[in-house]
């Protein structure tokens, strides 16, 4: 049976051109993107393409687009071998994380890719990224949401954008790569196993969330304002999950938890994890009941909270699931 891949265009640098009036990059028509890749016309893989209603620079990414993407995949799931999502790099790690939670029991590849230079420009990195993503999506080996960029396939909910200039723009700091593209594409043992369950596509996310990034000398009013602003809060703490161990912070955290808020502690460091009780300075979190987010990335933590707060489940269930490994996003 011939492999069929659905390319889903959302915008991003990969498909942008220079607006002649403003001289800045703006998204353009997807058919023109494919015109820039005649190699694909002779591919053994049958390609179809669809675009979201209004392609965007991914800095404009929002919940509606994530739901639109999930629904496109739901509608086309049976017909296609795999999916390639063309997406801007700025928020790709957030989108890949969000999609991993929305698509439960995924048994096909959903590969996010993009580029640092538009596809029509001579030195573009788009061609390699797109052609290899298509091959990976058609391989039948990947059953999860991935990000393919500059020769590496990463687990989507483990990726972080780390560079605005290098072609190697992403990293998966706490999880091995799923595949490495060289002369051959080598798949590693880190890839997710197939499941026998049917795909469940979730279509609710809540944006009643916030991120509190600690820094030395942060004002109590700032912490208070952020804790009051949302139902779910990701706290980015120091090192292995530490914070100033003062009574004021402890009081604020306890009050927030009494108000049935979900607070989760992750580290500001790119590599490593938040742990409890290594230093006395993690006491404020342990004593107040803030959850430990271990090696969740900020992108995975915030989209997981959005996903769980969007479900019709109790706070107790949300807290339990926040610390559980749902889609390979956390090392327990
Ligand atoms: N601003 C662009 C975007 O995220 C950057 C890129 O695609 O690399 O849509």
What residues flank ligand 1, with Cβ below 6 Å? Answer: 11-13, 57-59, 88-90, 114, 116
List of domains in the chain? 3-201 (3.40.50.1170), 209-322 (3.40.50.40)
Of the candidates 172, 159, 22, the one whose C-alpha atom is nearest the C-alpha of residue 91 is 159
Atom in ligand 1 nearest the alpha carbon of residue 92: 4
Cα separation, 287 vs 272, whole angstroms: 23
Q: Which of 90, 169, 170 maximizes ligand 1 atoms within 8 Å of its Cβ, making it the mutation to test the pocket?
A: 90
pTM score, two decimals? 0.96
User: Can you read off the two tokens belonging to residue 176?
Assistant: 């091995």
User: Can you read off the two tokens belonging to residue 180?
Assistant: 């490495």
Catalytic (active site) residue 124: no
Atom in ligand 1 nearest the alpha carbon of residue 169: 8
pLDDT per residue rounded down to tens, the chain (332 residues):
789 999 999 998 888 877 778 778 877 777 766 777 787 776 789 999 999 999 999 999 999 999 999 999 999 999 999 999 999 999 999 999 999 999 999 999 999 999 999 888 889 999 999 999 999 999 999 999 999 999 999 999 999 999 999 999 999 999 999 999 999 999 999 998 899 999 999 999 999 999 999 999 999 999 999 999 999 999 999 999 999 999 999 999 999 999 999 999 999 999 999 999 888 888 999 999 999 999 999 999 999 999 999 999 999 999 999 999 999 999 99
Atom in ligand 1 nearest the alpha carbon of residue 27: 9
Measured in angstroms, how far is the CA atom of residue 262 from the centroid of ligand 1?
A: 31
Q: Whose CA is nearest to atom 3 of ligand 1?
A: 88
Measured in angstroms, how far is the CA atom of residue 284 from the centroid of ligand 1?
A: 38
Q: Which of 10, 12, 96 maximizes ligand 1 atoms within 8 Å of its Cβ, making it the mutation to test the pocket?
A: 12
Largest CA distance in the chain: 67
Distances in Å between the Cα of 248 and the Cα atoms of 223, 226, 229, 288, 289 are 10, 15, 18, 12, 15
| Residue 160 CB contacts under 8 Å (≥ 6 apart), including other chains | 93, 170, 171, 172, 173, 270, 297, 298, 299
The single residue of 10, 13, 159, 267 carrying the catalytic annotation is 13
């Amino acid at each position: 049976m011939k492999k069929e891949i659905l390319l889903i265009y959302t915008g991003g640098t990969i498909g942008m051109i220079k607006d002649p009036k403003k001289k800045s990059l703006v998204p353009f028509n997807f058919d023109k993107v494919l015109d820039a890749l005649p190699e694909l016309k002779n591919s053994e893989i049958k390609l179809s393409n669809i675009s979201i209603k209004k392609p965007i620079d991914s800095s404009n990414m929002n919940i509606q687009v994530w739901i639109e993407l999930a629904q496109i995949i739901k509608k086309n799931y049976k017909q296609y071998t795999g999916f390639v999502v063309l997406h801007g790099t700025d928020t790709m790690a957030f989108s890949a994380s969000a999609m991993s939670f929305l698509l439960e029991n995924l048994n096909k590849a959903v590969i996010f890719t993009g580029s640092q230079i538009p596809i029509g420009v001579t030195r573009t990195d788009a061609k390699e990224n797109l052609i290899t993503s298509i091959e990976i999506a058609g391989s039948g080996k990947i059953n999860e949401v991935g990000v393919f960029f500059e020769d590496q396939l990463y687990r989507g909910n483990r990726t972080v954008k780390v560079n605005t200039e290098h072609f190697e723009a992403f990293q998966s700091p706490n999880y091995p790569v799923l595949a490495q593209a060289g002369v051959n594409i080598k798949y590693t043992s880190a890839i997710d196993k197939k499941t026998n369950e049917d795909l469940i596509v979730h279509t609710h996310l809540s944006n009643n969330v916030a991120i509190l990034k600690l820094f030395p000398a942060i004002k109590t009013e700032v912490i208070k304002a952020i804790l009051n602003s949302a139902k779910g809060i990701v706290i980015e703490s120091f090192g292995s999950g530490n914070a100033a161990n003062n009574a004021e912070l402890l009081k604020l955290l306890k009050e927030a938890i009494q108000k049935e808020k979900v607070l989760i502690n992750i580290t500001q460091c790119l590599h490593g994890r938040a742990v409890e009780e290594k230093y006395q300075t993690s006491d404020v979190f342990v004593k107040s009941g803030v959850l430990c987010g271990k090696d969740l990335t900020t992108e995975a933590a915030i989209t997981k909270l959005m996903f769980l707060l969007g479900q019709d489940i109790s706070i107790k269930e949300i807290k339990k699931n926040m610390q559980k490994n749902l889609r390979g996003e956390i090392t327990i």
